[in-house]
Amino acid sequence: MNQELVLVFDFGSQFGQLIARRVREQNVFCQLVRHDITAERVKELNPKGIIFSGGPSSVYEAKAPKCDPKIFDLNIPVLGICYGMQLACHTLGGKVAPAAAREYGRATLNVTNADQLFRGYPPESTVWMSHGDQVHTMSGDFVPLASTDTCPVAAVKHTSRPVYGIQFHPEVSHTPHGGQILANFLRDVCGCRGLWKIQTFIEETVQTIRAQVGDKRVICGLSGGVDSAVCAALLVKAIGPQVACIYVDNGMMREGETDLVRHTFRDWYKADLSVVHASEHFLAALQGVTDPQEKRKIIGRVFVEIFKNEAKAIPDAHFLAQGTLYPDVIESGGSKDGPAATIKLHHNVGGLPAELGFELVEPLRDLFKDEVRRLGIELGLPEDVVWRHPFPGPGLAVRCLGEVTAEKLATLRKADTIFLDELHKAGWYRKTSQAFAVLLPVQSVGVMGDGRTYENTVAIRCVQTDDFMTADWSHLPHDLLARVSTAIINRVKGVNRVVYDISSKPPATIEWE
């Protein structure tokens, strides 16, 4: 799609996707690939540069992940980070061994040879280290570029190959000037011009969609979430009336969800939209069910049944659109055609492509979440759609602990709406990553007026995260929490207690079920 491509080899680093995102921030298109991708496949992809990620292994161990050594013969610039540096040095003649002491956390880097990699970089700066091994001896082909007090070889350069290595992590925020190193590598070493932008992506993807679907129709399942909304908007831009959108209201959506979807796509985009009101079907199937996983399975099964019936009524439909994002896909090392892929199927399409004989259209599969939001703004989606917090596929069913009933959902929906409204009023909604209310299967004693009550408990949850793989609870102001609690108890019948969830992920998950 884009002539300027950089590959990030994944050696098991927790920061692999973060490296890719940092490269994208320099307007250079980047893909995360398996560490064992072949040199032949790399040559076909023709990247401008390669970055080796860190990883938890030691390069001298028999089962440590390695790259195809022929990679170094392609004359493609390589930047090794942490384990990636050790692997490059180990493969090209250096010796890696355990350090005298494991180095984890902030360290002071002293640049001794700026070269291209450290051009414009402070002679002394803070960097983030996380390693137990070090490069102890180098072949005569490597020269050191920087050091710390405990790591004499903190950065290196090969004398005859375009291979660099750094022992620290430039991609994390704890390395304040790390972006400068990545920018220098991309611009000065790889020769990238920073041509990849969202508008370019739109133009190229529109052409790709048109070439793929021809004059056939595409079904797009809308969930009310950001990904499916942006996917639908991009499809409408590309092929207009050929897109048929289906939105299944399972009765477990947030307040105003159905109206927002209807207004955005039927009124604003003039899209062909079918809204299926199916709350009774879902509630009947969930009657008496309390197990979280069973609830998810039932909701998925009923959704597929309803969606299939609706899809079959759309003439000349040959494709099914899915809002797969890049974090859900990683390229296999062996296949010429790219991902043999580990793809996380979204609940709202599941196995439908195979069941209906449809081919998948995945126009967002090269994007990260923050890029999807930027794309949505560029496509003209309303900000209240683009910046909505993530919402689980089964909806409020997994935030209504225990059996799901219409009455309990109504209580939860009111409490959730109050919480989100208060966050908006206080200017905290965009500062947080995800916020919601949970109705607990717990009653407690309270006093309201002069009487004793025995009513429901609502938990409120609010987290900060970059990737949703880990998350910390949001430190909301106490006066804001007090307003939320008072509003919920006063305005939601049947609730007399509100608690705030201060668990991080891990060990807890973001959702309660």
Angle subtended by helix axes 198-213 and 226-239, to nearest 10:
70
Q: Give, in degrees to the nearest 5, the angle at Cα 475 between 471 and 478.
A: 150
Angle subtended by helix axes 292-312 and 279-286, to nearest 10:
150
Cβ pair 59, 90 in contact under 8 A: yes
Question: Whole-angstrom Cα distance, residue 348 to residue 235?
Answer: 17
Query: Annotated binding residue at 228?
Result: yes
- Residues designated as active site: 82, 169, 171
Task: Say which DSSP state 413 is in.
Answer: H
Q: What strands lie across the sheet with 243-249, from one edge to the other?
A: 272-277, 243-249, 217-222, 317-321, 359-361
Query: Annotated binding residue at 332?
Result: no
Query: Annotated binding residue at 229?
Result: yes
**Structural tokens at position 124:** 């002394």
| Phi then psi dihedrals of residue 439, to 5 deg | -95, 115
Query: Annotated binding residue at 227?
Result: yes
Question: Whole-angstrom Cα distance, residue 368 to residue 201?
Answer: 13
In sign, the C-alpha dihedral spanning 166, 167, 170, 176 is: negative
Query: Annotated binding residue at 223?
Result: yes
CA distances from 353 to 141, 320, 331, 357 (A): 53, 6, 21, 6
Query: Annotated binding residue at 503?
Result: no
Query: Annotated binding residue at 224?
Result: yes
Residue 171 region, left (φ>0) first, then alpha (ψ -120 to 50), else beta?
Answer: alpha
Question: Whole-angstrom Cα distance, residue 493 to residue 485?
Answer: 13
What 3-state class would DSSP assign to 99? strand
Binding residues for ATP: 223-229
Binding residues: 223-229
